[in-house]
Each structure stands twice: as structure tokens, then as C-alpha cells.
Structure 1
């Protein structure tokens, strides 16, 4: 019988494209405050009862009350309404948490006015819990109500505006700001900044 020869075991190599799952980031103080505030009103009420009152799934309500992610404002409002929490306070606590998360993931870019404008526009959308699809739908309705005199900006144009890489036409910017349901003072301030940037861009192209 031939002598036994051991065969070396090849080293483990992970499959291409597979990565180790990252641990979830810890919730910030304001997000923790929001979840604690909601749980205070929920009390001993079961998740099933809260979910039924809020017209959301049990998993959605469970995620809003625990975990590390910031829940959507509409979910927070529904839970608050279902458990008798004040709506204005729900928005205030949620906005503090949302602003904390936004600031953490979107550091400012001093010296870049276009990027700063884009950041403020995204912050305004966040305050009203508006995603790109929500804004596009609102703009389409506004343009239709105006007799389609202005053509609403495309998703691509909106994305470039919100990343600070382009400026839309003046009429499109006006419709966009109307779609955000901002206060008159906010619209005036953002419009002024937009006009300054547009003028500077036209001057640079001469």
C-alpha cells in the first residue's frame, strides 16, 4: 500500500462580489428621542393594535418604535394619530431627528454656492417628507393647472438640481419651489439665491 500523503487544504477565498454585512449604524440622539417619545404614547398597547389604528403593518410600526432608522413622517403622524399624540409635536420631534440624520450624511460645502443651494433645497423637501417622486407629481399637477404653459422639469433635471450640478430654467424653478409648499419668505430667499447663481453663470458664459 502506498504511503499516505496529506493534501494541503486550499485557503478560503470569498466569492467575488460577496461582502461581509456591515453592522447597522447607531441611531443619533434625536432619533432615539423620537422613538422614545412615540413609545411613551404607545405605552402597553400591543403592536397589532397600534398598527391597526395607524393603518400600517406591524413590522412598519415596530421599526418606527425601535431599531436605528428614521421612520417616514407620514408613518410617525399615523402612529401619533392612532395613539392620541399631538400632531404638531410629532412633526417637531420628527423634524429634529430628520435634520440630525440629514446633517450627519450631508456635510456642507463652504465656498460652493450651487452645492449649498442644492443642500437647502433637499433640506426643504425633507422637512415636508417629500421624495423626488412626490415633487415631480406635484410639479406636474401645478403645470397642468396652469394650462401647461410651463413644462415641468424631468427627473434627470431634478436630480442634477438636487446634487448641485445644474440650474433649471426660471419658470421650472418657480414651479419647483411652489411644489415644496414653502413659506413666502423662504421662496423669496431661495429665489434670490437662484437668480444670483443664474446671473453669475450667464456672465461666465459671455
Structure 2
């Protein structure tokens, strides 16, 4: 089963963990050189960040790519970053999951709810959001579903709109919920450093 294969991949990675400012931060280094960082709220075990980095074709370190969360959602960045973030009126697409669903938010979309539609393209294994006024169009996949090779289900996809933000929700299938529980059990077995004093490694 693909979900089991992904779990084994996580178990086989080199891992370091630290608890800092109420967040459990776990760094994974995979045999192929890819790195993944996940952050969980200690109080709720809710995943707040998942980001990836791999070397480019010349072997130089690449930039962090956010799968869950966003670069500016954490500590205050540079003044330039703040100005860009605050002054931008372009739609901003980010993923912020809940316990039971994958969830994406598209900020700066002022149009009424009736203009939006969400569909699934089964052949391309992606979700599509579009507006009838042709003002916004976005294709995106669900990496968790791809890693576990699970089929997408149109009935699991829904959306709502409030405060200029489109919220798209995909209900997690049972296989994903079970996988996430197993991953959490593995992480809680790890020794973690408090407040970032030391990072403890485990296999």
C-alpha cells in the first residue's frame, strides 16, 4: 500500500526534533538529499507547516517550498517582506489544514460566492477553482493524496467564501487520517529538545 510506503520513507529518514515556542519542529533528511520540515502545535498536534528543499541541478541548496503554511505566517520578516505582503492586492493562495480536512485559503478575492466553482480533474489528479467572471483560475494538487496514490473524490470537495477569502476544503479519507495518526505516534516517540537548546537525532 502506498500509504505504508510513505510511512516507511519517513521512518527511514534522518530526523531531528525540537520543541520551541509551543511548536514541535521536525526536520527530515531523506537518502536522496531532499529535506522536509514539519511544525505541529504542541497543544493540539495540528500540522501548521510543511516545507521542502532539495539541491538544484548544479548541487547548490534550493529554496524552501511551502506545501502547508506560508513563509510570512511565522516570525516577523524583513520590512520589505511586510510591505509587499500588506500592499499586495493580488490573490494569495495558501494551505492551512484542519484535523479532518485539507484546506486552502485564497485571500483578496472580493467576488460574491455565486461566481466560484470547484471541480476535480481526475486525469490530472488536481483540483480546479474558477470564477464565472474569468477573474481567477487556479489548478492545484494534493501532495498527500499523490504520495499515497489515493483517488480523488469530487464529493469530498467543497468551498465557502467570507471576508474576501475563498476557503476550499477537501475531506481527508480514512487512509490519510490513519496515516497521520501513525506519523504522530512515531514523532511522539522521539526525544525532543526543549526551547531549541539541543537537537536530538533519531533513526
TM-score (normalizing by structure 2): 0.25
Whose radius of gyration is greater, 1 or 2? 1
Higher relative contact order (CA 8 A, sep 6+): 2
TM-score (normalizing by structure 1): 0.24
Greater helix content = 1
